[in-house]
Amino acid sequence: MYNDIKLDKSLYNISGKSFTQALSDLDPDSQYAGTELSKLDAYERQLKRFDIKVAGENCDVVDKFFQATESAVLFPEFIRRSVISGMDSAMLPNIIAVNTIIDTLDYRGFTATCYSPYTTVLSQNSELPEVLIQTSNVLSLSKYGRSLTVTYEAIKNQKLDLFSCILKDVGRQLGNALVNVGLTKIIDGATSIAGTSGGFVYDDLLKLYKSFAKYNLTTLVASPATCAALLALPELAECRSDDGGLSVQLPFGPRLYKACGYTGTSIIALDKDYAMEMITGNSGVTIENEKIISRQIDSIGISIYTNFRKIASDASAVLTYTA
């Protein structure tokens, strides 16, 4: 049971597994089916074990993690989860079809090319038209991250929910940066549609919609300034957000997302389910945990290895405006 698990910093060093996955091997979720603990994962059960409250009215301070040698092992994972939560709020999941996890820093994906229309009628004895699947060029992962300069003395009496909020903001800024990296990959070589000279008009959006002959236009991404200009169009006056302000549902189906940090005037359009792949190193978001656990903190290193790749070239397009 979760109360008997021996917590040790070596759980962070198991190749190919996150801390929570390593914990789950020792404390499988299946043991708790039908109990009040069934909604908690292995890490959350350890928080319960040491009575650490990370949010809410009775939220603990950072020092609560360090009341025992074993509970201190949980603190780097608290940091990592907070950062990931912030990254996810940066709308990165809304432009990614699939996130491929690899255990190297180089990746070779593959593409599929069909040389015959799918509408071709086949005679009974004819050969089936070919769809050629072949590997693509090698793609190297790049490292992104930040080092937070902080001492244990500076944070030990801070409430965990406030510290988590700061970490989420760091994660959000990192997520915004990765969104811009992904958008750059989409824009490069994408079908370019010229917008109306002199400003944004609704017909340009319909022109963009029309260009998606093989895929569905599910997602539009633009800078904050461009989003504001679009939403000022009379045709979009009645559009509303139904997801807490993350996006705006447009009349003809797609959702409009604001890309914080993107300053271009282009509007990026894509079929979210087929346009782009995110490739991530198997360690995902990494927290330098050695000094954190021992309370010898002078900085907290946060990093991720990742890159992006187009999947289907026709599943994206760009509406461009000339200043």
Query: Is there a domain that residue 53 lies in?
Result: no
Q: What share of the chain in percent tops pLDDT 70?
A: 100
Give pLDDT, residue 124.
84
CA R_g for the chain: 24
Tell me if 308 sits within 8 A of 181, measured CB to CB: yes
Domain boundary among 117, 140, 163: 140
Give pLDDT, residue 111.
84
Q: Do 126 and 212 share a domain, yes or no?
A: no
- Evaluate if residue 296 carries a pLDDT over 90: no
Range of the domain at 282: 82-105+144-323
Q: Do 263 and 314 share a domain, yes or no?
A: yes
- Evaluate if residue 125 carries a pLDDT over 80: yes
- Evaluate if residue 16 carries a pLDDT over 70: yes
Query: Is there a domain that residue 154 lies in?
Result: yes
What is the token pair recorded at 220?
Answer: 């539009």
Q: Do 296 and 263 share a domain, yes or no?
A: yes
Query: Is there a domain that residue 40 lies in?
Result: no
Q: Do 209 and 281 share a domain, yes or no?
A: yes
Query: Is there a domain that residue 213 lies in?
Result: yes
Q: Do 90 and 136 share a domain, yes or no?
A: no
Confidence of residue 23 (pLDDT cuts 50, 70, 90): very high
Give pLDDT, residue 289.
86
Query: Is there a domain that residue 52 lies in?
Result: no
Q: Do 292 and 185 share a domain, yes or no?
A: yes
- Evaluate if residue 180 carries a pLDDT over 90: yes
Which is more confident, 46 or 91? 46
Query: Is there a domain that residue 110 lies in?
Result: yes
Query: Is there a domain that residue 201 lies in?
Result: yes
Q: Do 238 and 318 share a domain, yes or no?
A: yes
Tell me if 292 sits within 8 A of 300, measured CB to CB: yes
Tell me if 75 sits within 8 A of 156, measured CB to CB: no
**Model pTM?**
0.89
Angle at Cα 181 formed by Cα 82 and Cα 104, nearest 5°?
75
pLDDT 10s digits, 242-289: 888 889 999 999 999 999 988 888 999 999 999 999 999 988 899 988
Q: Do 294 and 311 share a domain, yes or no?
A: yes
Q: Residue 204's domain is classified under what CATH number? A: 3.90.1690.10
Q: Do 207 and 277 share a domain, yes or no?
A: yes
- Evaluate if residue 230 carries a pLDDT over 90: yes
| Closest to 42 measured CA to CA, from 84, 7, 82, 9 | 7
For all residues of the chain together, what is the average pLDDT?
92
Question: How many structural domains does the chain have?
Answer: 2
Stretch 161-182: mean pLDDT: 96
Query: Is there a domain that residue 171 lies in?
Result: yes
pLDDT 10s digits, 79-124: 999 999 999 988 889 999 999 999 899 999 888 888 788 888 888 8
Q: How far apart are CA 90 and CA 170, in angstroms?
A: 11
Class of residue 272 by CB neighbours under 10 A (exposed 0-12, middle 13-18, buried 19+)? buried
Q: Do 128 and 163 share a domain, yes or no?
A: no
Q: Do 255 and 119 share a domain, yes or no?
A: no
Which is more confident, 197 or 303? 303
Q: Do 129 and 266 share a domain, yes or no?
A: no
Confidence of residue 205 (pLDDT cuts 50, 70, 90): very high
Give pLDDT, residue 323.
58
Give pLDDT, residue 209.
94
